[in-house]
Structure 1
Amino acid sequence: MGESRTGEPEASRLGKFSWAMFDWANQPYFTVVTTFIFAPYFTSFVASTPAQGQAYWGYTQAAAGILIALLSPVFGSIADAGGARKPWIVFFSIMCAVGAFALWWAVPGQQSGIIWILIAIVIGTIGVEFSLVFNNAMLPNLVPQSKMGRLSGFGWGLGYIGGLIALFIVLLGFSMPAEPLFGLDKATHEPDRITGPMAAVWLLVFIIPMLLFTPDTKPTGISKRVAIKQGLTSLASTLRTLGNYKNIVFFLIARMFYNDGILALIGFSGIYAAGLFGWETTQLGIFGILIIIFAIGGCFVGGWLDDKIGSKPTIVISVLGLSFASIGVLSISHGQVLFGLPAAMPVEGGGLFASPAEMVFMGFAFIMGLFFGPAQAASRTLIARLSPPDKVGEFFGLFALSGKATAFVAPLTIGIVTTATGQQRPAMIVIFILLLIGAALMSFVREPEH
């Protein structure tokens, strides 16, 4: 056992595994709620039209992104001053669970009271994202710098496995059986709506190992009021002297663009497929399972690659791969693929993903799956390697800001363009542009040797 990057003793194997379990705990929220099941259900059945639903969803993600961008550095700085991260993780995990549980009341064709569903989506998203800030900030305390890539990649991979199992539960337990578990009513889409409460319970249960077995940063012993004051003072000082951290600033600006593109690609690919092909819960769930299987392999290989060749090359390769996949998805429209080649659309009674248009879409989706995890896991590793040990929480807060400061731009632009055109496809070009800009800006980043 060696020392972690912050000088603490390296965590035990159980401690490291339990830290990675937090990715397992939170991933179903992203997998079954914001990506493959609830989000497409919301856009297709809760809102009056898919285009209106996509616009609403874009606005919720924009609102959450703005709040996360403004407050993440503040909370990260306060946590650095106070030391311990776990109390913050518990608070924001409960907040996420409350928002997720409320999604049960998103009934089909809902117009009266839909604002409360939109608020619940914002609350859940803010909670899960803030909890990630503090969990990510624990990484440098657990392992030496040379092992951070593998642990980060392992966490992402474990998270995708958790998401995969959650999808299987939704499909095999709720969606596909003629009589779903717990007597859920398919006519009122209860198998889709149950994903919110399910993600809430999953999160609260599976954060327990991290709370019990993963070593936390030692409390500084100062009161919360003093920690808040010191944290805000430290953040103000860091912001005034950002010129001393130019390398980190270049990275955060690059990530601002490519992460915005990645989040939009993850969030809207299922929504786009549901609108284009008429996919329902079963097809979307199987689509998600296949994507995640590719993502799991990508995470474990990406974690090894991260420690082998470095975080920066791993990020650039992954973002370029996602750029290629996004333009491939963009090339598919009704009856056409690759910007003009005729391709038959699905017909009633046809096999699963059997139409030529669906096959091409799935091919590009598999490429997406391979590169989602490595891009995000290597980003987490790189900021951990670049951050000063006494400002880890603060810079992970700025890291969250870089992921959210412009994160509202893509959903907001997609919402506006979708509203203006009444179509889902034109707005997808935004994703491709953001990914390319982010990859180009990574050329200014210098990674320290490890």
Structure 2
Amino acid sequence: MADTSTPVPRKVSSAAVGAWIVYDFANTIFSLSILSYFFPLWLGDELGGGPDLFNYITAGSMLLVALTAPFFGAVADLRQRRMPYLILFTVLAGLGVLGLDLFGTVAAAAAIFIASNFAYQTTQVFYNSLLPGIAGRRGAGKISGYGVAAGYIGSIFALLFLTLFVTNASMMKEILGPLGFWLQTDEELNSNAFVPTAVLYLLFSLPAFFLVPDRRVREPRPVRVRETYRDILRTVRNIRQYPGMGAFIIATFLFTDAANTVVTNMSLYGRVVFGMQQEDIRNLLIFSTVFAILGSTAFGFVADRLGPKKAMVIVICVWLTAVLVATAAVEAWMLLLAGPLVGVALGSTWVVSRVLLVALSPSEKVGEFFGFYGLAGRFSAVTGPLLTGLILTVFGGLGPGAYRIAVFSLFITLSIALIILLRVPDKRPDRVIEEFSASPPG
């Protein structure tokens, strides 16, 4: 007689949970350095590329991710393996960062950035798909929140530590000895941050590679490219079979449009609109990141207590307030009011949205739907920076006013996202997590 009893969820070891969380720490070191701070400032200040160029190449790399994320998510489900792909794309992203300053031209920097950011963004499909397997009996919201909080601690660490290679290159070269041969000490160069960024990113990724379980909930199946894309299209056509998933993916596209645009433009907004110096921008990012840590931790508990849908509605309301404050700011110090709101909203977005995705997904399609989640988020990361670049180009005659128009456009986007999100059913992820946590490692 078949055993029809309900599987008993397993509590994954603290080391495995910690390793998954530490990978978020590594993730945000890359994001802060390459997407938010050192690379965009280096591209503009030292290579002569404007903020519109940075937004265009960001959009280009995100377009590649948008075209491939559902495929990679489906592959993870078919093979019931996520870790080998996570390792591969993490290493490729790190190697790309190492090569950013090899040729010293705008064209080369843009091409390498596109490739490296593509690899980095692709890792998120596989990393997020590991969440149900490590959250058993611990609370998906809480674990997700700890991960994002650790990530933002990584942001502060990166800002403080990597800045030493930019502002105190001679001292760091002396400390490193022969290992510091790559440092340029004749002036303060943001490119000096690239090598330590790659090293830290790869170093803090290692625990996840060895300790995080890669669980399966069904037997592996072969991957055939044509059939895989056909299955993806079939899922799209039958999206109504998964209540709330279609509305959630559309809402995800809209609210991550705002989040990605903020991430890639925070430093440039302070520089262009208010003439902030690099030290002031760094301090604002650190101040905002402290609130991202607090917000992501708190909203992990909120998601577990109220449910991910209610928590996500609150997050979008915080975003709306933050955008209004940033748009209306008339002095640089006023960004200190918007910064904490942006921090709370940004951290909470990643915490709550991936828990809501797990809640809406059938266990056998978690990877595929995280691929669609990646598609929505990354496609929004195409349209967001692209729209920002177009607004800056079209309204360039208004000077800093063009950036204010670009930022305010996010308020409209977020308002539509909130309206759509209200159509999503109020589900919790417990069933999916129990199925994963009761399954053996792949």
Which bin holds the TM-score, normalised by the shorter protein? 0.7 to 0.9
Provide the C-alpha distance between the structure 1 equivalents of 2:133 and 2:227, rounded to a whole number of angstroms.
Answer: 21
State the match for 2:165 in structure 1.
174
**Contact 2:254 / 2:414 at 8 angstroms: preserved in 1?**
yes
State the match for 1:361 in structure 2.
335
Please give the secondary structure, in 2, of the residue aligned with 1:194.
helix
Residue 306 (structure 1) shift: 1.0
Provide the C-alpha distance between the structure 1 equivalents of 2:199 and 2:192, rounded to a whole number of angstroms.
Answer: 11
Provide the C-alpha distance between the structure 1 equivalents of 2:311 and 2:263, rounded to a whole number of angstroms.
Answer: 19
Higher deviation after alignment, 15-24 or 197-206: 197-206
State the match for 1:394 in structure 2.
368
Amino acid in the other structure paired with 1:383: L
Provide the C-alpha distance between the structure 1 equivalents of 2:323 and 2:192, rounded to a whole number of angstroms.
Answer: 30
Provide the C-alpha distance between the structure 1 equivalents of 2:229 and 2:384, rounded to a whole number of angstroms.
Answer: 29
State the match for 1:373 in structure 2.
347
Within-5 A mapping of 1:310-349: 310-332=307-329, 337=330
Residue 359 (structure 1) shift: 1.3
Provide the C-alpha distance between the structure 2 equivalents of 1:88 and 1:168, rounded to a whole number of angstroms.
Answer: 31
**Contact 1:80 / 1:231 at 8 angstroms: preserved in 2?**
no
Please give the secondary structure, in 1, of the residue aligned with 2:244.
helix
Within-5 A mapping of 1:129-168: 129-144=121-136, 147-168=139-160
Provide the C-alpha distance between the structure 1 equivalents of 2:107 and 2:167, rounded to a whole number of angstroms.
Answer: 30
For residues 336-374 of structure 1, the C-alpha deviation after alignment (integer angstroms, 9 at most, x for no partner) is x2xxxxxxxxxxxxxxxxxxx121112111211122111
Does residue 204 (structure 1) correspond to residue 202 (structure 2)? The answer is yes
Residue 189 (structure 1) shift: 3.8
**Contact 1:417 / 1:427 at 8 angstroms: preserved in 2?**
yes
Provide the C-alpha distance between the structure 2 equivalents of 1:413 and 1:129, rounded to a whole number of angstroms.
Answer: 20
Residue 407 (structure 1) shift: 2.5
Residue 201 (structure 1) shift: 1.4
Structure 1: give runs of 5+ residues left out of the alignment: 108-112, 338-356
Residue 209 (structure 1) shift: 0.7
Amino acid in the other structure paired with 2:238: T
Seen in structure 2, the aligned counterparts of structure 1 residues 243 and 220 have a Cα distance that, compared at 3 Å, is closer
Within-5 A mapping of 1:28-427: 28-47=29-48, 53-105=50-102, 107=104, 113-144=105-136, 147-171=139-163, 173-177=164-168, 179-182=170-173, 184-185=183-184, 187-190=186-189, 192-218=190-216, 226=223, 228=225, 231-332=228-329, 337=330, 357-422=331-396, 423=399, 424-427=403-406
Please give the secondary structure, in 2, of the residue aligned with 1:55.
helix
Provide the C-alpha distance between the structure 2 equivalents of 1:28 and 1:117, rounded to a whole number of angstroms.
Answer: 19
Amino acid in the other structure paired with 2:312: I
Provide the C-alpha distance between the structure 1 equivalents of 2:131 and 2:10, rounded to a whole number of angstroms.
Answer: 13
Amino acid in the other structure paired with 1:433: I
Please give the secondary structure, in 1, of the residue aligned with 2:381.
coil
Amino acid in the other structure paired with 2:213: P
Seen in structure 2, the aligned counterparts of structure 1 residues 417 and 145 have a Cα distance that, compared at 3 Å, is farther
State the match for 1:439 in structure 2.
418
Amino acid in the other structure paired with 2:231: S
**Contact 2:159 / 2:282 at 8 angstroms: preserved in 1?**
yes
Seen in structure 2, the aligned counterparts of structure 1 residues 182 and 40 have a Cα distance that, compared at 3 Å, is same
Residue 221 (structure 1) shift: 7.6
Aligned residues: 411
Provide the C-alpha distance between the structure 2 equivalents of 1:240 and 1:63, rounded to a whole number of angstroms.
Answer: 27
Provide the C-alpha distance between the structure 2 equivalents of 1:137 and 1:324, rounded to a whole number of angstroms.
Answer: 31
Residue 41 (structure 1) shift: 3.3
Higher deviation after alignment, 38-47 or 146-155: 38-47
Residue 164 (structure 1) shift: 1.1
Seen in structure 2, the aligned counterparts of structure 1 residues 303 and 20 have a Cα distance that, compared at 3 Å, is same
Provide the C-alpha distance between the structure 2 equivalents of 1:261 and 1:250, rounded to a whole number of angstroms.
Answer: 17
Provide the C-alpha distance between the structure 1 equivalents of 2:56 and 2:65, rounded to a whole number of angstroms.
Answer: 14
Seen in structure 2, the aligned counterparts of structure 1 residues 262 and 178 have a Cα distance that, compared at 3 Å, is closer
Provide the C-alpha distance between the structure 2 equivalents of 1:199 and 1:174, rounded to a whole number of angstroms.
Answer: 10
**Contact 1:323 / 1:432 at 8 angstroms: preserved in 2?**
yes
Please give the secondary structure, in 2, of the residue aligned with 1:444.
coil
Please give the secondary structure, in 2, of the residue aligned with 1:103.
coil
**Contact 2:169 / 2:188 at 8 angstroms: preserved in 1?**
no
Seen in structure 2, the aligned counterparts of structure 1 residues 185 and 277 have a Cα distance that, compared at 3 Å, is farther
Seen in structure 2, the aligned counterparts of structure 1 residues 440 and 145 have a Cα distance that, compared at 3 Å, is farther
**Contact 2:248 / 2:421 at 8 angstroms: preserved in 1?**
yes
Seen in structure 2, the aligned counterparts of structure 1 residues 27 and 299 have a Cα distance that, compared at 3 Å, is same
**Contact 1:273 / 1:279 at 8 angstroms: preserved in 2?**
yes
Provide the C-alpha distance between the structure 1 equivalents of 2:226 and 2:83, rounded to a whole number of angstroms.
Answer: 20
Provide the C-alpha distance between the structure 1 equivalents of 2:191 and 2:211, rounded to a whole number of angstroms.
Answer: 33
For residues 37-64 of structure 1, the C-alpha deviation after alignment (integer angstroms, 9 at most, x for no partner) is 322332344225xxxx111011111112
State the match for 2:180 in structure 1.
none
Provide the C-alpha distance between the structure 2 equivalents of 1:323 and 1:94, rounded to a whole number of angstroms.
Answer: 36
Seen in structure 2, the aligned counterparts of structure 1 residues 419 and 175 have a Cα distance that, compared at 3 Å, is same
Amino acid in the other structure paired with 1:416: L
**Contact 1:37 / 1:285 at 8 angstroms: preserved in 2?**
no
For residues 9-45 of structure 1, the C-alpha deviation after alignment (integer angstroms, 9 at most, x for no partner) is 3321111111111101111111122113322332344
Structure 2: give runs of 5+ residues left out of the alignment: 1-5, 175-182, 431-442
Provide the C-alpha distance between the structure 1 equivalents of 2:301 and 2:64, rounded to a whole number of angstroms.
Answer: 34
Residue 199 (structure 1) shift: 2.0
**Contact 2:57 / 2:110 at 8 angstroms: preserved in 1?**
yes
Please give the secondary structure, in 2, of the residue aligned with 1:10.
coil
State the match for 1:349 in structure 2.
none
CA RMSD of aligned residues (A): 2.3
